[in-house]
Amino acid sequence: MRIVPFAKEHLEPAAELLEERHRRNREAEPLLPAEVDFRAEVEALWEKDGASGVFANDGYLLGTRLDESWGPNVWIELAGHAVRRAEDVRDLYAAAAAHWVEEGRTRHYVLVPAEADLVDAWFRLGFGQQQAHGFQEVPSETEVVVPDGFEIRPPDPSDLEELVDVDLALPRHQAQSPVFSTILRDSREESREEWLKTFADTDEEILIGYRGSRPVACWSIVAADKSRHYHGLGLPAKACYLAFAVTLPEARGSGIGVALTDACFARARELGYEAMVTDWRVTNLLASRFWPKRGFRTTFLRLYRSIP
Amino acid sequence: VKIVPFAEEHLDAAAGMLAAQHSRHREAEPLLPSEVDFRGEIEALWRKDGASGAFSEDGYVLATRLDELWGPNAWVELAGHAVTDAELVRDLYAFAAERWVEEGRTRHYVYVPASDPALVDAWFRVGFGAQHAFGIRELDLPDPSIPDGVKVRLAERGDLEQLVEIGPVLNEHQAASPVFSTARAWTEEEIREDIEGDFGNDELANLVAEIDGRVVGNFVVVPIEMSGAHSGLARAPGLAHLGFAAVLPEARGSGADLALTAASFAWARERGYPAMVTDWRVTNLLSSRFWPKRGFRTSFLRLYRSIP
């Protein structure tokens, strides 16, 4: 296989390779969009800071850079690679990563469609699972069964401090084993400011699970195209994004999470959404068991490798 | 699931779980040893520096510590975990890793039976990627054909300097992309001393491949009892171990590797060895493709996760 550094002249053939991959992915997951400007997807990555990669006749790989909160990184976004044979991605990565590591970029992230042989090829390059993105249809009707002693309603500004507690429960959970996330928002002040902004004006639909008068869980949905995760070939038509979901430790197992999920489906249907997407840390034991049981099909995975 | 810190009182129960897991492993890979002192294996780990882990009624995870060449590490060795249900290993790891990370041990290694895809997948879903493979095969299979122009023979003292030239080739290859191994490079003097020590030892085969009178490749076959890695659950007595294999970069594709492989099999077979083991970096594209094609079946995988 002849591998060369990715260059502008490769945008067109790369777009064709991406289109082929996406066609296969749509057979497995029909909610993936039919209309995608593949060249624009690849070109947008190519124009980004730190973009570099490799190209061969049957595949390409293109990494960009996110901010330093992700460490000295390379990000291979959803449109950042396509191959005709899964095994070829190992050669492409080998060629591209030599350059990235020389630049000191030793934390590598890749978004991979959930094709078994492609995921396996990345596994055999030392990548482990980090994040999953799941899709499903919004049911035409959803019965919401709220457990005894609970109530679901929008947030009440007078509950600000309790809502801050709920908000901080997710980053605190994910900072622990086995997630060990370093993406922390555990400042009460920051959370309080976020809530105040939300009360003033928000695009989100927020539902709070109250036990008695105390908020113990928070779920929210928003138009999927408002999220940085869902765009282009990863954005289903008429989709909302279940963007936030957390239950305080003492209310886990009560059934309020299932009720809030169902309430989000019901609300999404009222708002005219036909699909719902969400994401979770695969290393978060609670979330990675909860969401697939709620019907979300893993559509793409974010894999991670640190060198060393 | 009730999970507690691994303790002395768990040795017998853990040995029972390990025996059951190994028995399943042997059904898939009958060349693995039938006689193993499971309690002895786990107890030896438990007595090691830095030993700690997690235990439940249906599984355990127990890690030790290797030297700092591997970074601030926790090693789950061949006998270091067993579960009756693969998914449980994620909970056990979550419990045990909390302490390891608190201790500053952020590089985690685990050996997993390769015949259990659910178990490999469970580790993959707590962030582990493939790093190393153990392979095993019988010797009563047809040998690769030896290409014209390649001569294979036992090394002689007169080959010493050419062997010293080949010595660092494997480490150099594995320091590069996509392996990025940080293994310490041996000095020329250490390599020379090691090779000289092997001359006159009839228990091992130091084989060289020559093309046009130049030594271009070197394989070393030893009894498995001389291997540090292939021990315990991976060591059936009386097998041969292909312990070193390197071909000069300019001779790759010449067939020297095939000729040396055939000669290694033939040497071992003539001495009555029924089977051979070897190992390779999964991220080494050349070796991870070469050895399975030579009939080696992956018996154990070593997986790796770095936090972050």
- The model's confidence at residue B218, banded by pLDDT at 50, 70 and 90, is very high
Could you tell me which residues come within 8 angstroms of residue A66 by beta carbon, excluding any fewer than 6 positions away? A73, A75, A109
Largest CA distance in chain B: 66
Would you state the pLDDT for residue A185? 63
Q: Give the separation between CA B34 and CA B242, rounded to whole angstroms.
A: 21
Give the mutation candidate from A61, A68, A73, A180 for the B interface (greatest B CB count, under 10 A). A180
Would you state the pLDDT for residue A184? 65
Identify the helix (H) or strand (E) that includes residue A123.
helix A116-123
Dump pLDDT digits (tens) for A100-152.
999 999 999 999 999 999 999 999 999 999 999 999 999 999 999 999 999 99
Considering only CB atoms, which chain A residues are within 8 Å of B71? 308
- Nearest CA-CA distance, residue A283 and chain B, Å: 5
Residues in chain A, how many?
A: 308
CB B281 within 8 A of CB B226: no
Reply yes or no on whether the pLDDT at B275 is more than 70. yes
Mean pLDDT, rounded, of chain B: 96
**Span A269-298, average pLDDT:** 98
Give the mutation candidate from B285, B287, B288, B302 for the A interface (greatest A CB count, under 10 A). B285
**Span B26-30, average pLDDT:** 98
Considering only CB atoms, which chain B residues are within 8 Å of A128? 124, 126-129, 303, 305
Identify the helix (H) or strand (E) that includes residue A257.
helix A256-270
Q: How far is CA A187 from CA A169, A171, A190, A194, A242, in A?
A: 11, 10, 5, 11, 23
Minimal CA–CA distance to B119: which of B85, B74, B78, B77?
Answer: B85
Cβ of residue B183 closer than 8 Å to a chain A Cβ: no
Mean pLDDT, rounded, of chain A: 96
Start-to-end CA distance of chain B, whole Å, equals: 27
Cβ of residue B308 closer than 8 Å to a chain A Cβ: yes
Nearest CA in chain B to A304: B127
Q: How far is CA A36 from CA A9, A15, A45, A237, in A?
A: 20, 10, 15, 11
What are A286's two structure tokens? Answer: 């609670």
- The model's confidence at residue B145, banded by pLDDT at 50, 70 and 90, is confident
Of A107, A127, A282, the CB nearest to B129: A127
Could you tell me which residues come within 8 angstroms of residue B42 by beta carbon, excluding any fewer than 6 positions away? B11, B14, B15, B18, B62, B79
Torsion of CA A270, A235, A65, A81, to 10 degrees: 160
CB contact under 8 A, B127 and A178: yes
- Whether the bond between B30 and the residue before it is cis, its omega within 30 degrees of 0, is no
Would you state the pLDDT for residue B168? 95
Nearest CA in chain B to A94: B178
DSSP state of A271: T
- Residue ranges in chain B assigned as alpha helix (H): 11-28, 38-46, 88-102, 117-124, 160-166, 169-175, 188-198, 256-270, 285-293
CB B103 within 8 A of CB B294: no
Reply yes or no on whether the pLDDT at B84 is more than 80. yes
Strand segments (E) across chain A: 4-5, 52-56, 59-63, 73-76, 81-83, 107-113, 128-137, 150-153, 205-211, 214-223, 239-247, 275-281, 297-306
